[in-house]
Structure 1
């Protein structure tokens, strides 16, 4: 009894000391990797962390809205490898992830109907777990606690990133398609200009549905048009797996334990992995560029090899010649449209989140210091001959 009173007194003394110093003691609770029926994952109060701490799932906000996503826990930038509601942003921070009593995994928010992640795949006795592979899995359990069925998984709904163990391809039974789609831009995770698919023999990058680049055939465990991936065993960074049977056709890859890897497709058609040489550089197949794997381009006769886009601060003397208010268009789309229109001299986006397009058809002049009518535009220029890096279409 006396020892209990001493312990209580010590705790009280510590708390009073902390309050006197203006510091409140922080008592942490171990993070969980699982959400159970009736539980909620609040916007800013709680995160799911995989068992070994590899991945984190939680909410985040961008200029375009708020989202539920997954990222590498050690990534200081929190680059998202998956976004649950990429084309259904919610407003503000009044949102949570809920697994209800019927097994529906959904984002609840004040702005409208719940965003259900597992349509037609719900079961009462189920839990959702974030795995160390980065896969977020909803499983149904038997009464004895054993797994009965996998109901839903985030790996079946990729965004712009391929993780080890994920598939690119198609399930021939269910017609489930596994492909990547770039963000529109850094602030808008909705599906953008580029997709990456597997056609059974090679990786194919498409731009708004048209073939843009391909990896060349996967042969002897290397791709024809990704030269630095030139090995024929699994003893290096990657081990490739290509499957084709009556049920599915897909490509996947694996890496040794402890290796961090994510193949990310960006909004300019670049394909890269964490801290490793680029597979495909941004804008590599645009305009007159000739690069292994690029689809044959037919640039307009009004463009030359010297032409390209440079972002410049320019003097604006008149309104845009045309506008496309489509919020699914990003900077890459605007430049492509301008490049193929011989009367276009400059372009930019409309909205603050970097979507929509504006085009100018007049001569653009460089802004001078103190110019009140200046704006940063992507201007068609022949400065490419000087060796400056430009985006070209």
Structure 2
């Protein structure tokens, strides 16, 4: 979603209005309820319990001799008015009043006791009371139940808890209606509501002006870069209650949506520090956001200049070249070449042609990316993936395009393609059906371009020879390094260990009179410990390869990490980890128990961590609640202690280069241990930086 700066009424409008506005707060405290026999006169106010909203009379710049009764947020100003009762019937004087009539209904009266507005509710009795909630809802209660409320009769603002929706039984739409002008609360020419396609539409009279696109459960797909809607204080829910479908905001009193008299929908957020409303987002904010700006079968490119912002879709041409040249795009575009399936008579022949029969090349689909999907889509809920969606459309000659959107499903279009925008970021993939000749023409153009740029044959020969020689040299070097590594490891074998007949120990590098023994464990012992690498013992897979749980003959549980042949890591990382971890001893570093290099296998044996890795907790909704704050703090502290040891306190200064949640292992007491040193790098004692030629890490 594009985030625009705050929007305000033009300064000249504010200045002209200021002279005619009057303060509605009397010096005494405002009333909090109204009962039968009581009235609210011009100059008095009814306040919500916390004083967030007020109900009272006000005048507007275009009606400075008349008065309206409405609800406003906190201190009165025209911009703070969120609901007006008598929009069509302003009181011609300043002597109006609001009262509960003898039948229990709410009425607005002039000084001559003429009724200018009424709630017109069917009531069980005349025992009514009036209250204003802290969400701005004016409620008429009768016999213990709310029989009428302003939220069911919105003006130009959508407040938290207020519903706008489409009644499937009557096709009636509960909508917002703009003011006629910034100074005239009477109904204007713009409305905001829900269409039968469950999209939110902004209409100008009877013509669509802007639409949101479909709702995918998180955001509107027709609003580019719209993040998770709750971040903007807006939540869209679909409630089927008595065959009614409603859209509504979340209960956040600092947010509201307003329909301006200029025909834009605005998302306003209240900041307590400045006690003012900021316009966080507004639409339509550019020409391309206006509904079907370029006509059918055409797209509008966001950010493009006016002469070039409209273009026909691939395979289509302007309906009128003359109108198109002068910037009149309302006629849209028409197909240049008829579809193959349309050239056959009968549905069976059409299906055969679409599938490749009929002796001609079948229709194909052109992919458009990053677009606002067209209006008037049909959703096929039974189709669950993109491939099946494409097959469904290709078999149906009346299907002109399709798209598959997560959380919505397969969307197909059979009618005119209207209101397509090309976004600079965001959007969806869209597959447009075209005759095969459209692709042949494009391929022919590409072929001509390629012929003009033919590469000489001798250049190709040189490049191929260079690549072959380079691959051979690299293979030879790799083979020599691998053989040298095996010789070094075999020469390091010292003695058998007690756990088994094929377990031996090797000495690490000796420095400062100290040595670190890392056992060289035989392959047969590892096979027995893991039950021949049984799938039931598989703990997980990483970049190095699979990790298995095992048990040595002495009963010690181990984690066995086996280098995968498809892994991007190899002998260099294996050697690096064995050498480094032999020199590192710390309670927050995982302990290497041994390694194996038999049968062209590279295997590392670690102490077993029963609670696996940190990512198993923090990214699993069912487990992350098990980490209370003390546990999280201890894990954070332990990781920091391990890094401090690596960076400063160990004999070698080491940077890990692959630190992530999956490389933090947790023991039975949830103590963290840093693992996977295959990509680690040693610093010199006097260095504070180093460089690498290899892209590594997460």
> Residue 277 in 1 paired to residue 280 in 2?
yes
Q: In 2, distance between residues paired with 1:303 and 1:106?
A: 58
Q: Would you say the 8 A contact 1:226–1:279 is kept in 2?
A: no
Range that drifts further, 162-171 or 107-116: 107-116
Structure 1 residue 276, shift from structure 2 partner? 3.9
Which residue does 2:256 correspond to in 1? 262
Match of 1:210 among 207, 210, 213: 207
5 Å matches for 1:211-230?
211-230=208-227
SS in structure 2 of the partner of residue 61 of structure 1: strand
> Counterparts in 2 of 1:76-95, with a 5 A limit?
79-95=80-96
Alpha-carbon distance in 1 for matches of 2:324, 2:98? 52
Compare CA radii of gyration and give the structure with the larger one: 2
Q: Report what 1:357 is aligned to.
A: none
Q: Could you say which residue in structure 2 is the equivalent of 1:326?
A: none
The residue aligned with 2:74 is 73
SS at match of 1:218: coil
**Quick one: structure 1 residues 68 and 302, their matched pair in 2 at CA, closer, same or farther if it must change by over 3 Å?**
farther
Q: Which residue in 2 is equivalent to 1:243?
A: 239
Deviation at 1:178?
1.4
CA distance in 2, matches of 1:220, 1:31: 42
2:46 to 48, 57, 77: 48
Sort the Cα spacing of 1:229 and 1:112 in 2 relative to 1 into closer, same or farther, 3 A: farther
1:235 CA drift (Å): 5.8
Q: Quote the Cα distance in structure 2 between the aligned partners of 1:174 and 1:28.
A: 48
Contact persistence 2:55–2:69 (CA under 8 A) = yes
Aligned to 2:31: 32
| C-alpha distance 97-181 of structure 1, shift in aligned 2 (>3 A) | same
Pairs aligned (count): 264
Does residue 20 of structure 2 align to residue 61 of structure 1?
A: no
What is the deviation of 1:78?
5.1
Three-state SS of the structure 1 residue aligned to 2:151 is helix
Partner of 1:103: 104
* Unpaired stretches in structure 2, ≥5 consecutive residues: 1-25, 269-277, 296-319, 329-698
SS of equivalent to 1:183: strand
Question: Which consecutive unaligned segments of at least 5 residues does structure 1 have?
Answer: 1-26, 142-146, 307-393
Aligned to 2:161: 165
1:107: how far off? 0.7
- Counterpart residue number, 2:142: 140
Aligned equivalents of 2:241, 2:292: Cα separation in 1: 28
| Root mean square deviation, CA, Å | 2.9
- Between the aligned partners of 1:99 and 1:78, the Cα distance in structure 2 is 28
For residues 138 and 130 of structure 1, the distance between their equivalents in structure 2, rounded to whole angstroms, comes to: 9
Match of 1:183 in 2: 179
Compute the displacement of 1:212 (Å): 1.3
- Structure 1 window deviating more from structure 2 (92-101 vs 271-280): it is 271-280
Q: Is this contact kept in 1: 2:67–2:93, CA < 8 A? A: yes
- Gap change, CA 1:84 and 1:302, over 3 Å in 2: farther
Question: Does the 8 Å CA contact 1:39/1:100 hold for their aligned counterparts?
Answer: no
Superposed displacement of residue 267, structure 1: 1.5
Q: TM-score scaled by structure 2?
A: 0.35
Structure-2 separation of matches of 1:104 and 1:247: 28
- Report if the CA contact (8 A) 2:217-2:236 is conserved: no
Q: Secondary structure at the match of 1:290?
A: helix
Shift of 1:104: 2.1
8 A contact 1:217–1:224 mirrored in 2? yes
CA distance in structure 2 between the aligned counterparts of 1:34 and 1:303, rounded to whole angstroms: 64
**8 A Cα contact 1:239 1:253, kept in partner:** yes
C-alpha distance 304-38 of structure 1, shift in aligned 2 (>3 A): farther
Contact 1:172 1:246 in 2 (8 A): no
Deviates more, 1:219-228 or 1:260-269: 219-228
Q: Which SS does the other structure have where 2:288 is aligned?
A: coil
Q: Show CA shifts across 1:248-278 (max 9, x none).
A: 111001144xx41120111221111221422
SS at match of 2:134: coil
Residues 352-391 of structure 1: pairs in structure 2 closer than 5 A: none
In the alignment, the residues of structure 1 paired with residue 75 and residue 50 of structure 2 have an alpha-carbon distance, to the nearest angstrom, of 12
1:118 to 2:119 alignment: yes
1:202-227, Cα deviation, whole Å (9 max, x unpaired) = 10111111111100011132112223
Supply the distance in 2 between the matched residues of 1:188 and 1:119 (Cα, whole angstroms).
24
Q: Distance in 2 between matches of 1:150 and 1:174?
A: 23
Number of the residue aligned with 2:557: none
- The DSSP-based 3-state class of the residue aligned with 1:254 is coil
User: Structure 1 residues 75 and 224 mapped into 2: Cα distance closer, same or farther (>3 Å)?
Assistant: farther
Q: Normalized per residue, which structure has more helix?
A: 2
Query: Tell me, what secondary structure is at the counterpart of 1:227?
Result: coil
Give 1:112 deviation, angstroms.
7.3
Shift in CA distance, 297/70, structure 1 to aligned 2, threshold 3 Å = farther
Maintained 8 Å contact 2:68/2:84: yes
Deviations 1:330-368 (A, max 9, x none): xxxxxxxxxxxxxxxxxxxxxxxxxxxxxxxxxxxxxxx
Secondary structure of the corresponding residue to residue 295 of structure 1: coil
CA distance in 2, matches of 1:305, 1:137: 51
* Residues 1:203 and 1:111: Cα distance change in structure 2 (over 3 Å): farther
Does the CA contact (< 8 Å) of 2:85 and 2:117 recur in 1?
no
